Amino acid sequence: MAKNENAQNFEELCAAYVLGALTREEKESFEMLLTQASDEQKQFYNDMEVIAAEMALLYPELTPSPSVKQQLIDMAWASVNSSNGANVHYLSRFRYAVAASVAFMLVSIGLLFQTQNLNDDLSDQLALIDLQQNRIEILETEVERKEELLTILEARDVDLILMDGLEVNPSGYGKVVWDKDNGQALLQVANIPSVPTAKEYQLWFVVNNQPISAGVFAVKNPAQDNFFKISEFQQGGTGAFAITLEPEGGSPQPTGDMYLLGSM
């Protein structure tokens, strides 16, 4: 009786196995059972397997995409050609998707770092360009100023007034190149100290003991600040030039120490 039950149980499992109707656990159990099966049971299993395979003929035939075969044959040739003899495994879409995701993540991280580095480099380069641009503007301004000064020197008729240092700053000296026709002058100073905070030098034209302001200028770097242009200086006659230290913006009348003085 028990033998019949076992046989029936084997046949039930076998029929379900070949039809694909067992769960994973049941399938594994049957495969274990099959290893211990009698010859008769093994024959029964073979018959069931043949019948199940024959049933596949009832499926309608369909044509897969040509790429399936192409990938398969490529895989086979790659396997044959691999020099170390290692197997070349087909990546299913799922595995491929996982591998591609990991690769994509790694590439993304790499690109992120690379982008960050490029951004940093770009910022540095932009800062450098700004710095260079400022420097160019300064130099252009300087060239423009020098050209204006040269224009004064190129005038046909100019007066040259030499100025000497006074008691406050005896080593100082200076010159005024005055283009009366065009109402402008070039002032050159040397060896005078840089101006204190809120102070500026003021150039005076003294005629008939009356000081007339010719403009203010600041010497912040005595080694560089040597030349100044005096504009709109429409004066006539003969007199003297003097330079005093005044509050920033200049004074109506001289109030501070006199640094340079020279007569025409």
Partner 1 sequence: MLFFILSTIGKFLTQNNSRDRDLIRRIASKEPEALSMLYDHYNRLLFGLLKSILKKKEEAEDILQEVFTTIWEKADQFDAERGTAYTWIVSLTRNKAIDRLRSKVYKEQKKQSTSLNDDDVFHPLYSEENNPLENTILSDRAKRVYNALQNLSEKQRSVIQVAYFDGLSQSEISDEYDIPLGTVKTRMRDGMIKLRELLAQEMV
Query: Are the C-beta atoms of residues 236 and 259 closer than 8 Å to each other?
Result: no
Please state, in angstroms and rounded to a whole number, the distance separating the CA atoms of residues 231 and 149.
11
Which stretch in 30-38, 87-95, 145-153, 181-189 sits in contact with partner 1 by CB under 8 A?
87-95
Q: Output 60 or 237, the one with its CB closest to partner 1.
A: 60
Binding to partner 1 by CB under 8 A, coded x per residue (else -) over 44-83, reads x-xxxxxxxxxxxxxxxxxxxx--xx-xxx-xxx-xx---
Q: Hey, is 186 helix, strand or coil?
A: strand
Query: Are the C-beta atoms of residues 241 and 232 closer than 8 Å to each other?
Result: no
Q: Output 31 or 142, the one with its CB closest to partner 1.
A: 31
Output the smallest distance, CB 50 to partner 1, in A: 4
Q: Output 80 or 198, the one with its CB closest to partner 1.
A: 80
Please state, in angstroms and rounded to a whole number, the distance separating the CA atoms of residues 204 and 210.
9
Query: Are the C-beta atoms of residues 54 and 46 closer than 8 Å to each other?
Result: no
Pick one of 6, 19, 113, 129: the residue that binds partner 1 (CB under 8 A): 19
Residue ranges of the alpha helices (H) in 56-177? 66-81, 93-153
Pick one of 24, 157, 232, 236: the residue that binds partner 1 (CB under 8 A): 24
Query: Are the C-beta atoms of residues 218 and 201 closer than 8 Å to each other?
Result: yes
Pick one of 22, 214, 230, 242: the residue that binds partner 1 (CB under 8 A): 22
Tokens of 131: 């710095």
Q: Which residues bind partner 1 (CB under 8 A)?
A: 8, 11-12, 14-16, 18-24, 40, 43-44, 46-65, 68-69, 71-73, 75-77, 79-80, 87, 89-90, 92-94
